[in-house]
């Protein structure tokens, strides 16, 4: 992700999920425990750590797709997903 894309995805996830909802999405869609990825801090800090983890581990596409699948009606998230899919 570029810096701009990282920021847009971060904002979209914050807009789309509470902490508990994010935890559940990560468990269902990625088969991972959010608390082992990022266990402390604000929702913003946990979301930042989650995106960074996904980039490091090659799971970014799965995270984007899982979030999109879980929140198909969230306009900000879907706008990010559409722009991300178009990027090289």
Domain ranges of the chain: 3-86
CB under 8 Å to 2, separation ≥6 — which residues? 87
For residue 29, the 8-state DSSP code is: I
Residue 88 CA to residue 78 CA, distance in Å, equals 18
Express each pLDDT in 9-64 by its tens digit.
Answer: 999 999 999 999 999 999 999 999 999 999 889 999 999 999 999 999 999 999 99
Q: Would you state the pLDDT for residue 87? A: 82
Tell me phi and psi for residue 40, to 5 degrees: -130, 160
Separation between Cα atoms, residue 45 and residue 39, nearest integer Å: 10
Note whether 27 and 56 are within 8 A (CB).
no
């Amino acid at each position: 992700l570029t810096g701009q894309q990282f920021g847009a995805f971060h904002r979209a996830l914050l807009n789309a999920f509470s902490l508990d909802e994010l935890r559940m999405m990560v468990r269902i869609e990625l088969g991972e425990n959010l608390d082992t990825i990022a266990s402390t801090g604000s929702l913003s800090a946990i979301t930042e750590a989650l995106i960074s983890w996904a980039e490091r581990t090659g799971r970014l596409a799965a995270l984007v797709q899982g979030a999109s699948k879980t929140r198909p009606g969230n306009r900000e998230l879907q706008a990010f997903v559409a722009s991300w899919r178009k990027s090289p």
